Structure 1
């Protein structure tokens, strides 16, 4: 005879407690399981990150990979992360590599700003004097009140309208590609005052071109176009390129022999990283002071008219406007950056011993997503 299947029952007291205990048991089981682990990092992605990058290696590899694989931040062509003077991550996209020269666009302004500091240190220029531009020195010309400091801080007061619409009316486009292209500095210097010098912040590629012209006038007074170009190019390489080891550093010049110092300086990704490290170390390389430390301090000090801008450098500060170039809500206040058109970045965070270089092509509508992705890399370091 088959024995009946016997069901074991809870004692009556335990059965009464079961409804109350069940939620606690379920919560405990969830806690034990935790969130799902992220997928493993592919070996080829992990290989782009150093063995000891100064943070979690896999986290950094994922953050770097996102810059190359996300479809909402444009095209990343090169990325270098430097930590404590060592390469923590390095990766290139497509056919680009460590020998590729990348156009800095407006990161060129920061290079020009450093060159101005060298000339001030040499005693050839004075920060609060009117620069040697003959057309401004005529009696009664109000532009004679503009100082070198104001040009560097983008508050010259000149009528320079950046990013105007339609694009062919924008002053940087007119100066570089249309009616000003043969003598860009003359075109920029000829513009009238729109504001009293020093009163308003107006980001301006034309102002950086004027700085380049000032440099050429100091180095080659009354020189021909060829002499101006040769003098500026020699100075650029002897005083910056060679000491920093930036062998790829290349500047373009217009027909008047003026360096296009607001937008047309090229370098490889490793050389842009060298430039960032130079800034991180306060203008020194291996203990040799290439430009006075005080000049770099000036470059990264707030402009009186723009808390997020110094002197040819962007600062990680709230602008007080809808202009958000960096990430003041999440990054250190001491972080600063050279930033160029289409998403070129040299980010420098001295407190984190960090330099991040990103080069590529990102349209304006995707810029915020790119900044967030860069902020994620910076946030990985203490």
Structure 2
């Protein structure tokens, strides 16, 4: 029998070797390569954002592109005081004012802190609402602290069904719309003051009215509005450089401080930085550091809520506003209807603003994407 030559045997081996290599490649494990970033996604991120640039660009892009999280219109990320990412959906830009919805409550909380610092109010006193001070009126036991921590005991049922029975809807659009504070303050006690946490947009309007009563005690609606607008400008907007900050007012001249304060994304970021820096801006203490500490300290009836801000801590209920299972415990946030978020994480030097429109059923998915972005930054 003729023996095959060495070269012919090599020719027969090559197909087998190639087949084995192809099979080995098919059996490799690991994630598939990431798809290319869409045009402009990387350019929306600073060259040195404090984490890998592409990773941050992908996290920001997810807020615009991920299915099932609603419509993101603006994202701003600030790290150590600098904007490291800024992106807008089509039709929106850096000049666009966005309504804060319940982010407005946090602004109202800061304004009340200024009045406490001025000595005009005290946390554990009953606020100056005359008809609450009448003999025998149990609402005279409600303190400023309890209003700020959403445990006044007043009958303010938020997000009730049917919708037209919900406290915030009735106050803003139905029988309370012309004098929202009067409607909110007229509600009877449903619980003993201080005992039960109940999130309440009317409580923030009561706080707005308290502030306005001190600024314009005998003013007509126009004078009330002018007094509050001047206070906001001189004590908050000008020191922070929040040129776009503007509030809405009802027919009685009361600021709609639970839902209707507007600003552009950069100014919402400046406000978040005020909170991150303990109330100071450029070395100037705009609101006492102790007041910001109070706002971000859990109250006795809700471990995930402070005073006009949400805390990244378990609620002990089925309420899950932030992401306590994966984010820093020090993180806190101003959160508004339809997915408005100002996330503030002092331990990461981080402020994240997300503005847009997300329905309630998609809120949890949106929060997951925000958590992914925050997780990119290590704690210091």
TM range, smaller chain: over 0.9
- Does 1:138 find its partner at 2:134? yes
Question: Which among 111, 115, 126 is matched to residue 115 of structure 1?
Answer: 111
Matches within 5 A, 1:152-163: 152-163=148-159
What's the CA shift string for 1:295-319, capped at 9, x where partnerless?
A: 0000000011000000000000000
Matches within 5 A, 1:149-298: 149-298=145-294
What's the CA shift string for 1:275-296, capped at 9, x where partnerless?
A: 0001000000000000000000
Task: Give the match for residue 11 of structure 1.
Answer: none
Task: Give the match for residue 64 of structure 2.
Answer: 68
- Does 1:306 find its partner at 2:302? yes
Question: Which among 91, 95, 98 is matched to residue 95 of structure 1?
Answer: 91
Task: Give the match for residue 318 of structure 1.
Answer: 314
State the SS of the aligned residue for 2:41. helix
State the SS of the aligned residue for 1:76. strand
In structure 2, how many angstroms separate the alpha carbons of the residues matched to 1:241 and 1:7? 84
Task: Give the match for residue 30 of structure 1.
Answer: 28
What's the CA shift string for 1:90-131, capped at 9, x where partnerless?
A: 000020000000000000000000000000000001110000
In structure 2, how many angstroms separate the alpha carbons of the residues matched to 1:2 and 1:57? 66
State the SS of the aligned residue for 1:339. strand
In structure 2, how many angstroms separate the alpha carbons of the residues matched to 1:35 and 1:362? 30
State the SS of the aligned residue for 2:86. strand
In structure 2, how many angstroms separate the alpha carbons of the residues matched to 1:268 and 1:147? 33
Shift of 1:218: 0.6
Question: Which among 357, 366, 381 is matched to residue 377 of structure 2?
Answer: 381
In structure 2, how many angstroms separate the alpha carbons of the residues matched to 1:35 and 1:171? 49
Matches within 5 A, 1:332-371: 332-371=328-367
Give TM-score, length-normalised by structure 2. Answer: 0.93
Task: Give the match for residue 12 of structure 1.
Answer: none
Unaligned runs of at least 5 residues, structure 2 = 11-19
Number of aligned pairs? Answer: 365
Shift of 1:35: 3.5
In structure 1, how many angstroms separate the alpha carbons of the residues matched to 2:168 and 2:38? 44
CA RMSD, Structure 1 to Structure 2 (Å): 1.9
Shift of 1:82: 0.4
In structure 2, how many angstroms separate the alpha carbons of the residues matched to 1:279 and 1:372? 23
The structure 1 segments of at least 4 consecutive aligned residues displaced by more than 6 Å after TM superposition are none
Shift of 1:30: 3.5
